[in-house]
Structures are given as C-alpha cells and as structure tokens.
C-alpha cells in the first residue's frame, strides 16, 4: 500500500537475532526453517530492546491481515495477526536477496536490506487459487509445493476440487469402491478433447484423511486455508462407476475417459441424497475451520427427465421443471454444513434456482454473475473464466501447448493484470459483497507439475497483486515481475517466460 524508502541499508547475517512475543513464535519458527533451508542461517531468539536485528510483535490497532515493516538498525515488524506478521517476513525475504528463496542450501554470507517503511494490507480477504486434482491427480508433495508458492504471493486460499466425472480423490470410510474403483480411469484423451484420441494409459490416485490433514496443517503454517469441494449431483460419473445404484441407468459405467460434461448424474432418491450428505459432512469434518464448496455447476437434467423416480419426486415436491431437482441437493448439503458451522460456497449455476441466504457464490461464467449474486444479497468470489481460468492459453501465438480453449481465446498475464476484482457495473453500495477472487487451474490439459507451473506462473504472480488490491500499470509492474520470476527460478518453478517487451 505504501513503501517509503529511506537512504542506506542494513546488513543481515547469521545468526539473525530476533525478538518475538509468544503469540508469534510459530510464524518466526516457520521463517527460521525457511532461512535455514535456503542459506543455512540460524535464528537466535533475543529479548526485545537488546539490539537484535529484528523485533516482531502484534499491534491490535492494525486490521487482521495488515502489517508494518520499519527496516532500520533494529528492524521492527508489527502486525494485526500472525498472518500479517508472516506477510511482513515474506516482504523482508523479498527485500533481502534472491538466495533467501532457495529450496536447497545456497551460499549467502550476508544481505543488504534497504531502509524502508512499509504499511500494507490486502483489500480483499479471499485471495485464492483453485486446483482440480480430479482430472489429473496431484500428490501431497505437489500440493504442498503449490501452497508454498501461494504463500510466497500472500494468497490465502487453496480451493481443492476433489471429485469429477474422471476421478474421485478422497478416501471415505464405508464407501471403499469410491477409491478402489472411482479413483482410477482406464484412459485419458490425447491432445484436445475434440481430437477424440485416447492414450489407453491408466491414471488415478487419491488422498487419505491423513493426507488431507497433512495438507491442512502444512497450509495453516503458511496462513493458507484449504477450501475443499465435493461437486455433486453433476460431475458424478466416477461415483456412479463405483456405486451404480446412486445413478439413473441400469447399464454399467466406467470412470469417464473423456473431458466435458457427463450426462450421468446422481439420482434424486433418498439414498443418493443421504450419500451426498454423508460424504460432504465427512470431508468438511477434515477442514473444521474452512468454508466448504458444494460445486453445483453443469448438472445436466436429461437423465432426470427420463427417470420415473425423478418424476415421482417432482410430483411429490410440486416442481414444474427438472432443473429444480438440483436444489434438493444444494439445500440439503447447505443445511448439513451450516449445522456444523461451515460457510457454504457454490458455483454460480446455483443462482438459477432459489439460493439459501449466506451462500458464497463463485462467479465463473462471467463477471456479470458476480453482479447478479451481489444484487441478490449474496457474497461473491470472482472467478470469471475470461480472466481467471489459467487452463486457457498463455498467448495466441503458435507454439503454446494444448489448452482448454482454442485461439483466439487466450489469457495473457497482461490481461490478468487488467482484471478488475469488483465487477464493472456493480453499485458501490454492493461492493462489500465482493470477498475477493480466485484463479482456476482446471487440469484436463495439465498432467504434470512442470506444466502446472507453466500455466500458473507468471499469471498467479500478477493475479496476486490484483487480488491484494494494489495493481498499478503494465509498465510499472514488469520490472517487479521480472524480479519475482528470478525468485521463482531459484525455487525451481518452470514458469512461462515473458515475451520480449513490444
Ligand atoms: C468449466 S467452471 C467447468 C469445469 C471445466 C472447466 C474448463 C466449472 C464450475 N466447470 O468442469 O474443467 O470449465 O475450463
């Protein structure tokens, strides 16, 4: 928000002498481990006022994620919360030297830090990245690494998309076939879905409860909150492959081997509704502090329109249109989650029916869905595909790897930087409904960690400034971006290199 550079610099070397209050010891411990890993330095804990290098304390006058850094002979950090303190330490590493970001031991005798006074804090509380681990599975180590990268950009939310037609990715007690069968597919598309080619290579994997708790704790140390998503009743072909009785048709199904939207959705019987509730309650229980995403996107009604069971339920409920059936799930899952104290999040399709008050909408089809949500009194996370779907091409130029949307669609980092979190046309008295934004990494066309890096960066980097609420101009950000890419390079991130300046 403001950085006021003074003349000169201070010099840091090992051991770094730090004074910290008990409530921030955890934050400094994480920082100390990072420092040790990167450059082998030690942190020595000292008393405040004894001339250490760094003093760090909470200041209740600051907002929850705000912080102040005064780099001086004794550098002083104050913050509104441990999260704010962690952001301040991130900034100090940025001011220090690129080696401080190394994931393996590199050599650094000392570093110079410019004298500066920084007052900062984010405009938006929901600063997220979404990762689809259903289309392609990414293991615990890969997700932990992504969490570290988000934290390096002061992003605070990782939305994990845990199931889809092509795979179920969480072990659920009492439902072993979800992972024995539903977590594995026989084949995946090669090239673009439209080419209709198969690789005939099995793919799969899943997280155990322990894995998810490990991810949650890893994320918490970096002040990233995981928002789990179970997407039902659509996107359910993997569920139905495992438990055909939860579907609408008699023929056996396999976990889907194509991309797109499967027609196979859960049936609307009591058993399927109870299943959805049980699973969502279980996954939510692994993330007690988190909002929980119930999906709700792209649920075709063709099977319901042919189903005597669905017809019976429609008569019973007095529904005139099969679209309304989806609300049975949405409402039931929302109630169950609220009962456990979770906030409920859903994709913007739920706006097509009556929405339970308090539901947070992820606006993906366009920014105008965010406007619609806010006008209906709902909070919204902006995720419009035209700007924030990072499975789209990095550029329209030839040579880009196959991506979700074809040329002329592309989402350059410059386009991302021009994204306005508050949707154009939203009345100012409704701006408070905009919680923030998140970038989506759908993984139909992303099957490796290197390719995930290529699609995520540098777009996530520029997005982080946008969603922090402090973007400037393309000319201004470019040199800053180049420096951040040097840090990412040392971290081993295989980002897409910048095109030469036009
Ligand atoms: C739409 S966004 C989807 C996903 C796809 C994505 C590809 C949303 C809620 N549904 O199922 O992966 O497009 O860009």
Confidence class of residue 293 from pLDDT cuts 50, 70 and 90?
very high
Region 122-133: mean pLDDT is 98
Rounded to 5 degrees, what are φ and ψ at 460? -65, -35
> Which residues, 6 or more positions from 261, have their beta carbon under 8 angstroms from its beta carbon?
165, 234, 235, 298, 300
Q: How far is the CA of 376 from the centre of ligand 1 (A)?
A: 24
Share of the chain above pLDDT 70, in %: 100
The answer on pLDDT for 158 being more than 80 is yes
Q: Is the pLDDT of residue 354 over 90?
A: no
CB-based contacts of 341: which residues, under 8 Å, 6+ apart?
288
Task: Tell me the C-alpha distance between 42 and 39, whole Å.
Answer: 9
Arithmetic mean of pLDDT, 37-63: 96
Q: Whose CA is nearest to atom 9 of ligand 1?
A: 297
pLDDT at residue 297 greater than cutoff 90: no
Statement: residue 502 has pLDDT above 80 = no
Residue 44 neighbours by CB distance under 10 Å: 13
Identify whether 298 is a catalytic site residue.
yes
What is this structure's pTM?
A: 0.97
Name the catalytic one among 130, 153, 203, 235: 235
Confidence category of residue 501, pLDDT binned at 50, 70, 90: confident
pLDDT band at residue 298, thresholds of 50, 70 and 90? confident
Residue 289 pLDDT grade (very low, low, confident, very high; cuts 50, 70, 90): very high
13: confidence class by pLDDT, cuts 50, 70, 90: very high
**Ordered DSSP codes for 124-173:** -SEEEEEEETTTS---HHHHHHHHHHHHHTT--EEEEE-EETTEE-B--T
Q: Is the pLDDT of residue 353 over 90?
A: no
Q: Which residues, including other chains, have CB under 8 Å from residue 438's CB and lie 6 or more apart?
A: 126, 127, 128, 129, 130, 157, 159, 362, 381, 382, 383, 388, 467
Question: For residue 1, is pLDDT > 90?
Answer: no
**CA 424 – CA 422 distance, rounded (Å):** 6
User: pLDDT (tens digit, 9 = 90+) per residue, 406-418?
Assistant: 999 999 999 999 9
Is 164 in the active site?
A: yes
| More confident site: 501 or 362 | 362
For residue 329, the CA-to-ligand 1 centroid distance in Å is: 20
Instruction: Exactly one of 72, 199, 298, 311 is catalytic; name it.
Output: 298
DSSP H helix total and E strand total for the chain: 16, 21
Distance, CA of 396 to CA of 398 (rounded, Å): 7
Q: For the chain, what is the mean pLDDT? A: 97
pLDDT tens digit sequence for 14-49 = 999 999 999 999 999 999 999 999 999 999 999 999
Sorted by sequence, the CB contacts under 8 Å of residue 55 that are 6+ apart come out as 18, 19, 20, 48, 74, 75, 76, 77
Q: Give the Å distance between the CA of 422 and the centre of ligand 1.
A: 22
Q: How far is CA 473 from CA 13, 91, 131, in A?
A: 35, 21, 28
Distance 258 CA to ligand 1 centre (A): 14
| Ligand 1 centroid, distance to 458 Cα (angstroms) | 21
Instruction: Name 378's Cβ contacts closer than 8 Å, sequence gap at least 6.
Output: 355, 357, 358, 359, 360, 361, 433
Query: In the Cβ-directed half-sphere of 222, how many Cα atoms lie within 13 Å?
Result: 26
Residue 58 has phi, psi (to 5 degrees) of: -80, 150
Q: Is 391 in the pocket of ligand 1 (CB under 6 A)?
A: yes
Please report the atom of ligand 1 found closest to the CA of residue 347.
Answer: 9
Residue 201 has pLDDT above 90, yes or no: yes
Given a cut of 80, is residue 344 above it in pLDDT? yes
Pairing of strands 43-45, 167-168: unpaired
Burial class (CB in 10 A: 0-12, 13-18, 19+), 456: buried
Specify the ligand 1 atom closest to the Cα of 297.
9
Which three-class secondary structure string do you get for 303-363? HHHCCHHHHHHHHHHCCCCHHHHHHHHHHHHHHHHHHCCCCEEEEHHHHHCCCCCCCEEEE
Ligand 1 pocket, 298 CB below 6 A?
A: yes
């Amino acid at each position: 928000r403001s950085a006021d550079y003074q003349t000169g610099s201070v010099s840091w070397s090992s051991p770094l002498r730090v004074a910290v209050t008990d409530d921030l010891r955890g934050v400094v411990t994480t920082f100390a481990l990072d420092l040790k890993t990167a450059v082998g330095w030690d942190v020595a804990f000292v008393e405040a006022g004894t001339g250490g290098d760094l003093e760090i304390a909470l200041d209740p006058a600051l907002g929850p994620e705000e912080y102040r850094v005064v780099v001086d002979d004794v550098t002083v950090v104050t913050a509104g919360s441990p999260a704010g303190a962690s952001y301040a330490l991130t900034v100090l590493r940025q001011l220090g030297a690129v080696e401080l970001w190394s994931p393996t031991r590199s050599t650094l005798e000392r570093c110079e830090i410019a004298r500066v006074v920084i007052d900062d804090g984010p405009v938006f509380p929901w600063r997220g990245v979404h990762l689809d681990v259903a289309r392609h599975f990414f293991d615990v180590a890969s997700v932990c690494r992504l969490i570290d990268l988000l934290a390096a950009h002061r992003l605070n939310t990782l939305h994990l998309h845990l199931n889809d037609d092509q795979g179920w990715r969480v072990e659920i007690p009492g439902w072993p076939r979800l992972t024995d069968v539903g977590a594995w597919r026989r084949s995946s598309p090669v090239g673009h879905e439209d080419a209709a080619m198969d690789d005939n290579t099995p793919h799969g994997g899943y997280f155990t409860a322990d894995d998810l708790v490990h991810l949650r704790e890893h994320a918490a140390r970096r002040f990233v909150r995981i928002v789990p998503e179970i997407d039902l009743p659509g996107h359910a072909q993997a569920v139905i492959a495992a438990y055909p009785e939860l579907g609408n048709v008699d023929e056996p199904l396999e976990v889907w081997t194509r991309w797109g939207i499967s027609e196979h959705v859960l049936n609307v019987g009591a058993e399927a509704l109870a299943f959805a509730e049980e699973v969502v309650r279980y996954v939510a229980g692994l993330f007690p502090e988190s909002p929980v995403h119930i999906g709700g996107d792209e649920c075709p009604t063709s099977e319901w329109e042919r189903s005597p069971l669905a017809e019976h339920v429609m008569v019973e409920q007095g529904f005139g249109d099969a679209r309304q059936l989806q609300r049975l799930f949405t409402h039931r899952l929302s109630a169950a989650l609220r009962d456990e104290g979770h906030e409920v999040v859903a994709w913007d399709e739920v706006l097509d029916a009556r929405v339970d008050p308090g539901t947070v909408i992820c606006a993906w089809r366009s920014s105008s869905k965010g406007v619609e949500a806010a006008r209906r009194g709902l909070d919204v996370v902006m995720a419009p595909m035209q700007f924030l779907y990072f499975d789209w091409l990095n550029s329209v130029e030839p040579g880009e790897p196959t991506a979700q949307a074809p040329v002329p669609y592309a989402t350059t980092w410059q386009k991302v930087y021009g994204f306005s979190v508050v949707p154009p046309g939203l009345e100012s008295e409704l701006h408070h409904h905009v919680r923030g934004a998140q970038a989506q990494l759908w993984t139909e066309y992303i099957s490796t960690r290197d390719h995930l890096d290529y699609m995520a960066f540098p777009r996530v980097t520029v997005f982080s400034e946008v969603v922090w609420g402090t973007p400037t101009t393309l000319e201004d950000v470019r040199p800053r971006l180049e420096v951040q890419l040097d840090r990412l390079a040392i971290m081993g991130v295989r980002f897409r290199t910048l095109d030469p300046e036009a």
